[in-house]
Amino acid sequence: MSEEAIMKTWEEHPMLTPRIEKVVVNLNVGKSGEPLEKGNKVLREITGDRTPVKKKAKSTIRDFGIREGEPIAVVVTLRKQEAIDFLKKIVPVVDNKIAKRAFDTRGNFSFGLKEHIDIPGVKYDPEIGIFGMDICVTVNRPGQRLKVRKRQSKSIGPKHVLTPEESIIFIKKTLGVEIV
């Protein structure tokens, strides 16, 4: 289907219009203690005072000095308008370009930032340092909850499943990015 035909379908059938479900910002430090607290502070600053959740290592990696159960990363999940505003602030850092290979088979996509100080409004603090992060965006249609809810979960018809092409068109329209 062409882009115009997809847009016309979305206008005629609002339940087929995609939406940004959530944005997950993951800052992996690799160590617990002071570096993790610095990463926690950076993530709080970037996401507008949202409380980050500490994530623990799943297994021991002796070469990196990581033990199982040791907190090594901090994560924040943003939803609704807060997620869209965050993406509009982050996308200019990657030159308004997202690689086509960043999209998966369900229309979700992810990208990374090498330095958090590239984000507008964030200043370099020598005491904290520089951190990179991963940003994962979940895109779906209204009604997707039927599949994942605990009580009376149902399957979703093949026409309602979001394709990568539709997700790309939606992201271009919503965020004004270029897909390369």
Instruction: Identify the helix (H) or strand (E) that includes residue 83.
Output: helix 80-90
Give me the amino acid identity at 4. E
Going residue by residue through the chain, which has 180 residues, state the pLDDT in tens, using 9 for 90 and above: 788 888 898 889 888 899 999 999 998 887 778 888 888 888 888 888 888 888 888 888 788 777 888 888 899 999 989 999 998 888 888 888 888 899 999 889 999 888 888 788 788 878 888 888 899 999 999 888 888 889 998 888 888 888 899 999 999 988 888 888
Q: Is the dihedral of CA 104, 107, 108, 113 positive or negative?
A: positive
Backbone angles phi, psi at 90, to 5 degrees: -85, -35
**Distance separating alpha carbons of residues 139 and 106, to the nearest angstrom:** 8
Backbone angles phi, psi at 134, to 5 degrees: -110, 140
Contacts 24+ apart (CB under 8 A), 3-10: 3/169, 6/165, 6/166, 6/169, 7/169, 7/173
Give which of 129, 173, 155, 148 is closest to 18, Cα–Cα: 173
CATH 3.30.1440.10 corresponds to the domain 3-179: yes
Domain-wise residue ranges, the chain: 3-179
